[in-house]
Amino acid sequence: MKSKITMLAILLLVSSFRVLGQTDDEKHKKVVFIIVDGIAADMIEKVATPQINRIGKEGSYSEAYVGGEKGAYSETPTISAVGYNSLLTGVWVNKHNVYGNEIKQPNYNYPSIFRLYKNKYPRKKTAIFSTWEDNRTKLLGENLVGTNFLKVDFAFDGFEKDTISFPHDRYREYIKNIDKKVAYKAGEYIKKEAPDLSWVYLEFSDDMGHGYGDSPKLYEAITYEDSLIGNIYNAVKFREENFNEDWLFLVTTDHGRTLKDGKHHGGQTDRERSTWIAMNRKGNTYLTKSTPAIVDILPTMMDFLQIEPEDSVKQEWDGISLLGQIDAQGLKANLQNETITLNWSAIGNENNTAKFYITTTNNVKYGAKDDYRFLGEANIKKEFAKFSVKEKSDFFKILMETPNHQLNTWIIPIKSNN
């Protein structure tokens, strides 16, 4: 009888692995991404960041940008929550609709990495370790109708509201202490429990930027945050060395700082738009030869996790993966006299063809799907194409479908005053 019970337990265990989409021969894929607030790319060059350097040397490091396309429909404020949501959703502000830290009306029809992950793996575990509770309650939209009542399995946040344990002081030392608590918990929990998808958010560096600008105080804060990042990375390395796990570890920031003194952000100056990305994986040609964006991080995580969302989600992404084969970047469109001219930059030497589609609707904004019609094809190496368009509309969405991914752009014609 005992042998039968034991065999049944083994069969149930094997069955559970199959349900989770994991076989014995595969490594369990897990992701941690960290946002450390308000550090322009030039600051990384000026200050000691041995842990970020370590991650970059083991994998990849690149300067990056936030803020969408300057002066165009996707221009995005270089503000904290706006940047977080661009990372979480892979789209710019014209889609996710978070224009400030108040997070007034997020458009949850552009799903976050947490929702996409839970849709694929409802039984796998997610976690958030954050110095700002709104990241979970507003940006991720935990337990809200619009996110289909998303639930984060483990949350360690909200300490900024605890004024007894963390008395608020004018020098913002309490935020430094909260960052330490959050980061050490993240390291401890990841080492022991190994959640499948984790987000860590650290704030102190941005506070020192606002308070002191370009100064020893800010640079000391960056080095301090770097040490906390190293603690979390050590936990990931421990898991990889002792368990059958394969981890993607990503670190980035949400915006840069003003050129004059480094105290502010929010605008579209080069330094305010300037960010960076470090990860423990070698990046593709797009990462090494171009400047990636914060919206590229979600497609990268999805690529690593081998999750393929439905077309209506993927077609809206403004980013492309930093892993694997990439065919083109930077799709732009211009409409003149019923002719659409498309331009892009080819990546790689493959002689591939792209397909192009067009729609005059934006139903995704309201949770529905768009009906694209086929425009035609073009060789990717040519980096341009022209198509005749007879439709009359104040709005067009163009989709470029390559063998390995998709790009999209909008056309919003300028109305004549005549």
For residue 245, give every residue at least 6 positions away whose Cβ sits within 8 Å of its Cβ, in sequence order, or none. Answer: 27, 28, 29, 30, 194, 239
How many folded domains does the chain comprise? 2
- Are 108 and 224 found together in one domain? yes
- Are 120 and 267 found together in one domain? yes
- Are 107 and 224 found together in one domain? yes
6 part of a folded domain = no
Return the pLDDT at 348: 80
Reported as a single tens digit per residue, the pLDDT across 182-202 is: 999 999 999 999 999 999 999
Return the pLDDT at 25: 64
DSSP category for residue 255: -
Cβ distance 405 to 380 under 8 Å?
no
Query: Which is nearest to 365 in space by CA: 158, 27, 46, 107?
Result: 107
Instruction: Pick left, alpha or beta for residue 266 (phi over 0 → left; psi -120 to 50 → alpha; otherwise beta).
Output: left
Return the pLDDT at 26: 86
Token pair listed for 321: 């993966």
Query: Which is nearest to 31 in space by CA: 196, 238, 165, 278?
Result: 196
Reported as a single tens digit per residue, the pLDDT across 320-330 is: 999 999 999 99
Return the pLDDT at 349: 78
Q: Is 300 helix (H, G, I), strand (E, B) or coil?
A: helix
Cα–Cα–Cα angle for 138, 140, 142, rounded to 5 degrees: 80
- Are 59 and 176 found together in one domain? yes
Q: Where residue 106 sits, what CATH number does that domain have?
A: 3.40.720.10
- Are 307 and 335 found together in one domain? no
Q: What is the mean pLDDT of each run of 10 residues along the chain (418 residues)?
A: 45 43 74 98 97 98 98 97 98 98 98 98 98 98 98 98 97 98 98 98 98 98 98 98 98 98 98 98 96 98 97 97 97 95 92 96 97 97 96 94 97 59
- Are 306 and 335 found together in one domain? no
Q: What is the domain range of residue 84?
A: 25-314
